[in-house]
Structure 1
Amino acid sequence: MSLFSQQYQQEIKKTFLLALPIVIAQLGVVLMGVTDNIMVGRYIGKIGLGAAGIANSLSFLIASIGMGGLSVVAPLISKAKAEKNIPEINRLFRAGIKVALWFSLILGLVGLLCIYCFEIFQQSPEINTQAPAFMAIIVVSNAFMFVFAATKQLSDGLSRTYVAMIITLFGLLLNLIFNIILINGYWGFPKMGLIGSATSTLITRILMMLALLFYLFQTKAFKKYLHSKYKSLKTNDLVALIFKIGVPSGLQYFFEIAAFSLAVIMMGWLGENQLAAHQIAINVASTTYMMASGLGIAGGIRVGEGRGLKDLSKIRLSGNVALLLVIAFMASMMLLILLFNRFFVELYISDNEVIAIAIDLMFVAAVFQLSDGVQVVSLGILRGISDVNIPTWITMFAYWVLSLPLGYLLAFRFNMDAIGIWIGLLAGLTASAILLTVRFYYLIKKMKVE
């Protein structure tokens, strides 16, 4: 029993130390969008908040395929590290950059098509006027975010997760400063209003990408993995592998985020107050989700290491610990949201009608914290054992067969308004959490590591 406890204590410590910088970095990524929305809500008002909200949601939805697809590289690098295969790590890094560039091109074209056909989302005339230009800038900035994410896989896969964390935190600070300056036209800059917020995100993502690339190529700890002697090694097979397991992994993110993005569109059908309230509540929920996804990434890296060591007990232990940590974390987030829901809402806006709706939505957001955390970590640890196809079907069922139809019925047929859409989201998250967790333990039970 003492050995069992000691193993868990050591794994909890290792996973926590690995996850903490990833969680902070993930928090920094989502807080850039939150910063944009707070600044827009404060300086421009609810129309600007609604426009920025739907543009950010659609852009993030499109980018989710690329971000999810690239996330499979870190567990592969962790596996190669456990096998002490330095040339393979180099090939994985270069293949990841190539995949990021392909995602930039393909998903960028998808984003431009959405902008061109923006009126199909049936938003108010004011939103239709302001959102497309904002979204165009964010879509361009996604290309730099993809390269940053691909580069980040190397440092994360080698368990040096603090690197991306530090750069992301500096990026968050820069984004806040650029938002204030460009929205209001301070220090001689033109007053750009809503477009200034999007431009701030673009500048910040470019600087973050350059900073991470510069650090990795100039730091001694990474030089042996980036040595020019490996340049002649082909990467086409790994590019194909990353696409093969990365696209289903990206679709897992897509199906969930698409459900929330379509919820934004349905909120626009209900009215501008509901849309603004939804954007506030979803920003808070997205913050805790991205932090939980950091635990999922860390769990995937630890499971990938166990796979490289061909140690089934370590794979099981790493999965158990990742799930225990996210349950503890999301339970605390649930209590925090319940206690301070009004405080969080009033950070964004002072409109009483919007505040009343947002507080109701925050209650549902608190309830689904556990489900959201468990499902994202389950996806992470399944990714660590390269199981991506069945989880993709699970997420599609949970969000598109269950969540969205239920939310639509409750909101529009049973007249539950905004709260009905969120109850549908709660049902989808809970179904996903249960099915993905069962999937992981089913595979572990039948797995034989050769």
Structure 2
Amino acid sequence: MTAEQTPRPTRSPTGRLMREAQHIARLAFPIVVSLAAAALIGVVDTVMVAPLGTLPLAAVSITTSALIIFYSALFGFVSAIGVRMAEAFGKSNDQELITTTWIALVVALGVGTLGTLMMLAVRPALAWLGQPIEVLELLGGYWVSMSLLLVPFTIFYALKALFDAIDRPWIGVGLAFFAVACNVPANYVLIHGIWGWPGLGLVGAGIASLVSQSASLVLAFVILSRWKTRWNAPPYSGFDWRELQLQLKEGSVFSLGYLGEGAAYAVAGLMLGWFGAAALAAHQIVSAVSDVIYMVPLGISIAISIRVAQAIGANERERLRPIVLASLFVVVSWMSLVIIGILLGRAPLAQGLSDDPEVVALAISMFLVIAAMQIADGVQGTMLGVFRGMTDNHVPVVITLVSYWIIALPVGYVLGFVLDWGPNGVWIGYGSGLGLAAVALSYRFFSRV
């Protein structure tokens, strides 16, 4: 056999999967770190509010449940914005990138302001939803501060999407940790006071989060202004209505998918309020931990959407199955470690964040239920990322909406209240919806590719 006839060595299927897994891990790592840093702000609030007692911690839980709805919807718009920026950067067209960025900032300001107004408007509805009156009396200033936070949050993540799109993801990591670094001392001073000043208590935590996110946004704009001087493109020359329409159209589809999941999670959290303040406080402890844990599968979801889009753009659809299998290997491996960590650390975590025996007992049992749903949660999030990369969003969104709203929440209500399983029944029902979504989304992909 001649040299020309010698076949090129090929990787084994296992070798290809491991290579794809390494690609996914390298791409997801900075995304995960920045998302985890953002989630740490909620953890900091929980840790520093916990000494104030069960009622303030329950107030944080109610507010967080509402915030998840708005965060989810707004993050959907930001995800679409990031795709538009990446497309412009891929064309090496600085003028288009500048135009896309300016329109993105307009969209972020608009939808962020709308989110703030809507969150302020729904505040009176909490009493109608059966939340404890003694907890609602504490919300006031904290709810307002966290509502206002939605504006800098959305604009910041639009700029972070720019940094990710131009292959500078570690800038977003630095900015996210800068916000956390600001949040810790600001929380301490504004919650507990300093030099004889008693502090503002729960309201101080909200103001600290708002100030920290705003400080990080200001720094992001400083970086952006320095980069503008390096771009070899004419200045922004006019408002591009077509680009605005594209971002709003694509953002609406992305937003609906994120909103369906986030709102269902929030409703499950609000249902726990029907069991009283202790259940809400326990839920906040569990959520603060699980939100940070979930940043890994969320980062993998974002990374796989990029890898899938690259494969389709290169007309290499045969790569899709190995990419997806590798991503599932990564996320299942991570979630398996998470399950072990939760099982070993649930008691110390609960005891470290509350000294109320009822809250601690509820949190320990909730951790067990949350551990049982980790793999399903990771798989369904990963598969949603696959379909986003394939620009196949409509049917997956319907699958998730049915899983959460037709299965998870009704089953959770029946288990929790009709069968009297308590707060854990709500979460078992929610986990059943996650499991259904994971199976249905996976079947849809592997039956077609």
Q: With the length of structure 1 as denominator, give the TM-score of the two structures.
A: 0.91
Stretches of structure 1 that go unaligned for 5 or more consecutive residues are 446-450
RMSD over aligned Cα, in angstroms? 2.2
Q: Say which SS state the counterpart of residue 294 (structure 2) adopts.
A: helix
Q: Deviations over 1:284-334 (max 9, x none)?
A: 222211232111112222223334334323444443333322111111111
1:448 corresponds to = none
Q: Say which SS state the counterpart of residue 245 (structure 2) adopts.
A: helix
Pick closer, same or farther for the CA change 1:235–1:229 going to 2, 3 Å: same
8 Å Cα contact 1:78/1:308 also seen in 2:
no
**Structure 2 Cα separation of the partners of residues 380 and 96 of structure 1:** 22
Aligned equivalent of 1:145, options 153, 164, 167: 153
2:260 corresponds to = 255
Pick closer, same or farther for the CA change 1:385–1:157 going to 2, 3 Å: farther
Q: Shift in Å at residue 231 of structure 1?
A: 1.9
Q: Shift in Å at residue 6 of structure 1?
A: 5.3
Aligned equivalent of 2:65, options 53, 57, 60: 57
8 Å Cα contact 2:135/2:277 also seen in 1:
no
8 Å Cα contact 1:216/1:223 also seen in 2:
no
How many aligned residue pairs are there? 440
Aligned equivalent of 2:47, options 38, 50, 55: 38
Q: Shift in Å at residue 80 of structure 1?
A: 4.5
Q: Shift in Å at residue 81 of structure 1?
A: 4.2
1:131 corresponds to = 139
2:242 corresponds to = 237
Q: Shift in Å at residue 275 of structure 1?
A: 1.5
**Structure 1 Cα separation of the partners of residues 100 and 351 of structure 2:** 45
8 Å Cα contact 2:95/2:234 also seen in 1:
no
Equivalence map 1:160-171=2 (5 Å): 160-171=168-179
Q: Shift in Å at residue 72 of structure 1?
A: 2.4
Q: Does 1:24 align with 2:33?
A: yes
8 Å Cα contact 1:41/1:349 also seen in 2:
yes
- Bigger shift: residues 339-348 or 136-145: 339-348
8 Å Cα contact 1:83/1:309 also seen in 2:
no
Q: Shift in Å at residue 347 of structure 1?
A: 2.3
Q: Shift in Å at residue 230 of structure 1?
A: 5.9
8 Å Cα contact 1:398/1:432 also seen in 2:
yes
The one-letter code matched in structure 2 to 1:379 is L
- Bigger shift: residues 102-111 or 303-312: 303-312
Q: Deviations over 1:325-381 (max 9, x none)?
A: 211111111111111111121221111111111111101111111111111122222
The one-letter code matched in structure 1 to 2:292 is T
- Bigger shift: residues 409-418 or 294-303: 294-303
Pick closer, same or farther for the CA change 1:27–1:397 going to 2, 3 Å: same
**Structure 1 Cα separation of the partners of residues 47 and 294 of structure 2:** 18
Q: Deviations over 1:126-180 (max 9, x none)?
A: 1111124211111101100100111111111233211111111121121111111
**Structure 2 Cα separation of the partners of residues 238 and 90 of structure 1:** 12
Q: Does 1:216 align with 2:219?
A: no
Pick closer, same or farther for the CA change 1:59–1:371 going to 2, 3 Å: same
> Identical aligned pairs, as a percentage?
29
Q: Say which SS state the counterpart of residue 131 (structure 2) adopts.
A: coil
Q: Shift in Å at residue 61 of structure 1?
A: 1.3
**Structure 1 Cα separation of the partners of residues 436 and 94 of structure 2:** 40
8 Å Cα contact 1:25/1:169 also seen in 2:
yes
The one-letter code matched in structure 2 to 1:57 is S
Aligned equivalent of 2:187, options 179, 182, 201: 179
Q: With the length of structure 2 as denominator, give the TM-score of the two structures.
A: 0.91
